[in-house]
Amino acid sequence: GQQVMQIPQYQHVQEGEDFTTYCNSSTTLSNIQWYKQRPGGHPVFLIQLVKSGEVKKQKRLTFQFGEAKKNSSLHITATQTTDVGTYFCAGASNDYKLSFGAGTTVTVRA
Amino acid sequence: GAVVSQHPSWVICKSGTSVKIECRSLDFQATTMFWYRQFPKQSLMLMATSNEGSKATYEQGVEKDKFLINHASLTLSTLTVTSAHPEDSSFYICSARSQYTQYFGPGTRLTVL
């Protein structure tokens, strides 16, 4: 079945620095979605990428979808303490099922 | 955005009892809902796909007789954990599909003693 790998598993960032989390799927995806989960909370939808090579920005967050629709990245610039949490990518197949990556847990030191 | 509720938000039960968790889409109709399980510090694992008016589709390794799913209406799906055991303790999260997006419920934390 479809597998989505996500790295790194943990990211400890100095406040103000940038970081990137990467996802790679074993199969071509119909779309990829990104979620953020705060400690003790549930996943909150951030964005969906559908087109090959698509790039979307949300303030300090930049999301990319690879040309082959098998990989994606989330880049956060000028990290703030509010960015703490676990970021999951989730690859969608044609039957709308989501395969979640392992997540990147972000901690920020002031 | 769309709102999905889950009830209860947490439950503690004795080993051997059954627990029912409800998932409701509050402001949209969802022909498809999904049930996930998340163990501490792990990712979400899809358990089953719940389709309104038909049988649920279970992922490999998930016992359909243990995790009973009923999708009785376009806004309600239920997951019943039958004869729960301590190893079933987990965070159970549902999601409801609206077009291409899944909206997640707040989750139910189940603790089986």
Torsion angle in degrees (nearest 10) through CA of B22, B97, A95, A4: -90
Q: Give the pLDDT score at B101.
A: 78
Q: Give the pLDDT score at A38.
A: 94
A42: CB partners within 8 A, 6+ apart: B93, B104, B105, B106, B107
Q: Give the pLDDT score at B1.
A: 64
At B18-75, the pLDDT tens digits run: 999 999 999 899 889 999 999 988 999 999 999 888 889 999 999 999 999 998 889 9
**If phi over 0 gives left and psi between -120 and 50 gives alpha, with beta otherwise, what is residue B42?**
beta
**Neighbour-count burial for B35-64, b at 16+ CB within 10 Å, e otherwise:** bbbbeeeebbbbbbbbbbeeebbbbeebee
Comparing CB atoms, the residue among A42, A102, A103 nearest residue B105 is A42
A3: CB partners within 8 A, 6+ apart: A25, A26, A99
Residue B108 has pLDDT above 90, yes or no: yes
Residue A95 has pLDDT above 80, yes or no: no
**Neighbour-count burial for A55-75, b at 16+ CB within 10 Å, e otherwise:** ebeeeebbbbbbeebbbbbbb
Q: Give the pLDDT score at A105.
A: 96
At B81-92, the pLDDT tens digits run: 999 999 999 999
Decide if A108 contacts A15 (C-beta within 8 A): yes
Report, as an integer, the average pLDDT of A15-44.
Answer: 94
CA proximity to A74, closest of A58, A85, A91, A92: A58
Nearest CA in chain A to B60: A1
Shortest Cα–Cα distance, B45 to chain A (Å) = 7
Size of interface A-B (CB pairs under 8 A): 49
At A33-87, the pLDDT tens digits run: 999 999 888 888 899 999 999 999 999 999 999 999 999 999 999 999 999 999 9
Q: Give the pLDDT score at A1.
A: 61
Q: Give the pLDDT score at B44.
A: 93
Decide if A6 contacts A103 (C-beta within 8 A): yes
Comparing CB atoms, the residue among B42, B46, B105 nearest residue A97 is B46
Chain-wide mean pLDDT for chain A? 94
- For Cα atoms A106, A69, A11, give the angle at the middle one, nearest 5 degrees: 10
